Structure 1
Amino acid sequence: MAAAAKLDNPGGIGGLESLRGLAEIEATRPADLMKHYPKDQGVIDSDYVYQPPLIPHSIRHYEVSLNANKCLACHSWKNAKEMGATKISVTHYVSPQQGQVLSDVSPSRYFCLQCHVPQADAKPLVENDFKRVSALR
């Protein structure tokens, strides 16, 4: 009986749908459409308390590595006013381990894209009934 099941379902997905859809692992399917990132769409409202702000501009070709952080060229406290950008939160200058205020961005907060993502015109990956926190409306 197990052999018959393998013949009926060679990919072994058991009728389950993943983010790839119902495509068998071995099957080639068309690529998803590229996501559209609107240009300079202004500040995007938060949907829940303590949500990291979304990035309202393209970050293509931005380097955020051990040696450089393009985000800080505009968003550091030193540069934000001159660049007309939002300052990064003071929490980014606090060491979470010791609670110490640092003179530069904390190493644990240096890699911006761990928390902050560009706003994309993309459909949700899965259906949900999420509702914004009423205080943020």
Structure 2
Amino acid sequence: MRRLAFACLLSLVPCLTAGVILAQEAPRLRGPDPFTKEIPAPPMQRQVTNDVRVRRNYPDQPPVIPHAIEGYAVDLNANKCMSCHARKFTEQSQAPMISVTHYQDRDGNTLGGLAPRRYVCVSCHVPQTTASPLVENRFTDMDALTEPERQPARGR
């Protein structure tokens, strides 16, 4: 029995050691204070509200929101986003119409109205802010990845 307990303890030590090492190497997203200490939240960053569409980095990336949305109601009775982005209002508002996929259920069936799974716009679409990244971003967009393929072969 003692040998079994000792063997279990020995197998647990590398896991605990690895956890400590990983925790030390992980970037801190909350700042220098320990997570157990309650500190005031930092001020909200200013939203980018220039109404300029931002290029997408990959197919099917949800477009970002290029305008302020503070105070927009999205509840069971109303969806403020649809007052401009619904098909019948886009000519007047000059806002882009939401995709037809927003009128389809998960099986691809076309619905008579906005699909419930697409109703809360900010689940996928986010406003841009002037905040700086919390961690280094090493993202490479599709054009940069495929660029070497498009270059003509040299020396032929």
Offset at residue 29 of structure 1 (A) = 4.6
Structure 2 residue aligned with 1:51: 61
Structure 1 residue aligned with 2:111: 102
Q: Quick one: structure 1 residues 84 and 28, their matched pair in 2 at CA, closer, same or farther if it must change by over 3 Å? A: same
SS in 1 for 2:137: coil
TM-score for both structures, normalised by structure 2 = 0.69
Between Structure 1 and Structure 2, which shows a larger proportion of helix residues?
A: 2
* Residue identity matched to 2:76: L
* Residue identity matched to 2:110: V
TM-score for both structures, normalised by structure 1 = 0.78
CA RMSD of aligned residues (A): 2.3
Alignment: residue pair count: 123
Q: Which has the larger radius of gyration?
A: 2
CA displacement 1:67-109 (0-9 Å, x = unmatched): 1100000000111111111100011111113x21112111111
CA displacement 1:45-80 (0-9 Å, x = unmatched): 111221100000000000111211000000001111
1:56-95 alignment runs, 5 A limit: 56-95=66-105
Inter-partner Cα distance in structure 2 for 1:17 and 1:53: 28
* Residue identity matched to 2:116: P
Of 51, 55, 63 in structure 2, the residue corresponding to residue 41 of structure 1 is 51
Offset at residue 26 of structure 1 (A) = 4.1
Inter-partner Cα distance in structure 1 for 2:66 and 2:102: 19
Quote the sequence identity (%). 41
Offset at residue 41 of structure 1 (A) = 3.4
Structure 2 residue aligned with 1:113: 122
Inter-partner Cα distance in structure 2 for 1:133 and 1:31: 36
Q: Which runs of 5+ in 2 are unaligned?
A: 1-22, 148-156
